[in-house]
Amino acid sequence: MALQVGEQAPDFTLFNSELKEVSLKDFAGKKVIIHFFPMAFTGVCTTQLCTLRDNFGFYEGLNAQVLGISVDSPFTLAKFKEDNNYQFPLLSDFNKEVSKAFGAYYDEFVFNLKGVSKRAAFVIDENQKVIYAEVLESAGDLPNFKAIDDIVK
C-alpha cells in the first residue's frame, strides 16, 4: 500500500548517478519532491522528468529539493541525466527497497519485466512527513504537477 499523507516518510540511502550515496535525512529541514518513474529513456518517463527540468526555476527560493528515483542502474541514470540535462539528482533503487517502502512498485510490468517503480510523486515536508502522495496505476499517466507545485509553495 502506498504511503499516505500524514505518515512519516521512510528514510533511505541510494546511489545517485554520480555514484554517491544520498539519504532522505540529508534533506531534513527542506521539502523534498520525489518523482518515481518506471524506466529511463522511455517516452512518458522522459516527459515527466523533462517537465521538472523545464519548470525547475519554480523551486528556486522555496527550500525544496527534487529527486528522481527508478530501479535503473546508476550508470543508466547517469547517461539519462546527461542526455536530458536534468538539474536534480537521479537515484538508483536497483534493489527495489525504496519503491516498495513508498508503495510505488509493480510486481510485474510490461514485457514480463518484474520489479519496476510505478510512476508516483510524493512531497515530504521539512520534518520528513508526507504532505502529498500520488501513485499512478497506469504508467502512461503523468503526475499532477500543478497539485504538487501548490503543496510546495
Query: What's the pLDDT tens digit per position in 16-53?
Result: 999 999 999 999 999 999 999 999 999 999 999 999 99
Residue with cell 547517461: 79
Q: How far is CA 96 from each of CA 59, 66, 131, rounded to the nearest angstrom?
A: 28, 20, 23
Q: Alpha-carbon torsion 7, 11, 16, 18, what sign? A: positive
Closest CA to 118 of 65, 55, 66, 48: 48
CATH class of 29-142: alpha beta
**Catalytic: 45?**
yes
Percent of the chain surpassing pLDDT 90: 89
Please report the pLDDT score of residue 113 as a whole number.
80
Indicate which residue of 45, 124, 136, 139 is catalytic: 45
Residue ranges for the chain with pLDDT beneath 70: none
Give the domain ranges of the chain: 29-142
Q: What are phi and psi of 133, to 5 degrees?
A: -145, 125
Closest C-alpha among 31, 64, 71, 70 to residue 48: 70
